[in-house]
């Protein structure tokens, strides 16, 4: 089954399943791209970190963003759910204008999952409590329902026996898998990954990438900031290369690896692949 098939069969059901309060998008708009970024600018004081970025991510698409550190990748992905503000440009996610005061950012964020570089599990809560917290307090699910969902997801990320553990008792790879489960528990329409494996010991990267790969195969819309080119090759539909706050190249995965056009992307690829 191709990705387009999965997407077609999934999208309407997804909208029906969404709680009425969160259904901001009329069904007729369901065909719009998941994320539309145009001419996005942002500065920290005199330093311009985003210089007019354009990017469209379709529903069901997996986009990998790569580039040297300090190129603005993390800032860009954090703009998508409004964790970072931008100065100029337009950004719409699932039909909601981000940065517009009238938009209900809280309900948008509840539908966009995010996975952080340093996991950001809540250290004072157990694994199960971590996964249930936003389900209960944001989505207003019952505790029983939330726990059932949490247990199912823990099984899915391969940690069925860790629900009572505290984050500090888990390895980095385990923590990141719990963080993915925590994000999935909100039934997100899209997932953002901000360098999900760069804080991990090498031997733990694989287990996290495996979970992400499975998610991609299930048709989840994903934007992934990463240096893991193996993951990009296997899972991404498109690769975006950023440098110095600008999107230098956007290409299909095959094209990006086989014949990158931008000089800087070639240089970056040759360096990272020779490691």
- Give me the residues that bind another protein (CB under 8 A), please: 78, 81, 83, 106-112, 114, 116, 118, 120-124, 133-134, 137-139, 161-162, 164-166, 168-171, 182-183, 186
Q: How far is the CB of 115 from another protein (least distance, A)?
A: 9
Instruction: Considering the complex, state which of residue 159 and residue 216 has its C-beta at the smaller distance from another protein.
Output: 159
For 141-207, give the DSSP string. Answer: --HHHHHHHHHHHHHHTT-TT-TT--GGGS-HHHHHHHHHHHHHTT--SEEEEESTTTTS-HHHHHH
Instruction: Considering the complex, state which of residue 184 and residue 212 has its C-beta at the smaller distance from another protein.
Output: 184
Q: How far is the CB of 274 from another protein (least distance, A)?
A: 32
C-alpha to C-alpha distance for 130 and 163, rounded to whole angstroms? 9
Q: Six-digit token pair at 271?
A: 């360096």
Q: Six-digit token pair at 72?
A: 């603005």
Q: How far is the CB of 268 from another protein (least distance, A)?
A: 27
C-alpha to C-alpha distance for 103 and 119, rounded to whole angstroms? 28
Instruction: Considering the complex, state which of residue 111 and residue 177 has its C-beta at the smaller distance from another protein.
Output: 111
Instruction: Considering the complex, state which of residue 111 and residue 264 has its C-beta at the smaller distance from another protein.
Output: 111
Q: Compute CA distances 251 → 6, 62, 188, whole Å.
A: 23, 12, 26
Q: How far is the CB of 106 from another protein (least distance, A)?
A: 5
Q: How far is the CB of 13 from another protein (least distance, A)?
A: 21
Report the 10 Å Cβ neighbour count for 189.
22
User: Chain centroid to CA 78: how far?
Assistant: 10
Q: Six-digit token pair at 42?
A: 């942002």
81-103: burial string, b at 16+ Cβ within 10 Å, e else: bbbbebeebebbbbbbebbeeeb
Q: How far is the CB of 114 from another protein (least distance, A)?
A: 4
Q: How far is the CB of 167 from another protein (least distance, A)?
A: 9
Instruction: Considering the complex, state which of residue 137 and residue 271 has its C-beta at the smaller distance from another protein.
Output: 137
Instruction: Considering the complex, state which of residue 150 and residue 269 has its C-beta at the smaller distance from another protein.
Output: 150
Instruction: Considering the complex, state which of residue 101 and residue 124 has its C-beta at the smaller distance from another protein.
Output: 124
C-alpha to C-alpha distance for 69 and 75, rounded to whole angstroms? 11
């Amino acid at each position: 089954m191709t990705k387009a098939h999965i997407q077609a069969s999934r999208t309407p059901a997804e909208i029906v399943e969404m709680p009425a309060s969160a259904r901001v998008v009329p069904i007729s708009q369901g065909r719009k791209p998941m994320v539309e970024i145009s001419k996005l600018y942002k500065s920290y004081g005199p330093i311009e970190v985003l210089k007019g970025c354009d990017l469209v991510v379709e529903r069901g698409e997996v986009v990998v963003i790569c580039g040297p550190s300090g190129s603005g990748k993390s800032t860009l992905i954090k703009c998508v759910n409004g964790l970072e503000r931008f100065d100029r440009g337009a950004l719409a996610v699932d039909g909601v204008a981000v940065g517009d005061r009238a938009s209900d950012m809280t309900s948008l964020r509840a539908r966009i999952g995010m996975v952080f570089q340093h996991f950001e599990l809540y250290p004072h809560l157990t694994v199960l409590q971590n996964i249930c917290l936003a389900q209960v307090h944001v989505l207003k699910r019952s505790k029983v329902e939330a726990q059932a969902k949490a247990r199912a997801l823990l099984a899915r990320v391969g940690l069925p026996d860790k629900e009572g553990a505290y984050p500090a008792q888990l390895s980095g790879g385990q923590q990141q898998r719990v963080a993915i489960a925590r994000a999935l528990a909100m039934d997100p329409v899209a997932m953002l990954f901000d360098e999900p494996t760069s804080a991990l010991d090498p031997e733990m990267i694989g287990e996290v990438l495996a979970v992400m790969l499975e998610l991609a195969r299930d048709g989840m819309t994903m934007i992934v900031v990463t240096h893991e080119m193996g993951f990009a090759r296997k899972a991404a539909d498109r690769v975006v290369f950023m440098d110095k706050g600008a999107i230098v190249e956007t290409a299909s995965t095959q094209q990006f690896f086989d014949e990158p056009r931008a000089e800087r992307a070639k240089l970056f690829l040759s360096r990272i692949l020779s490691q």
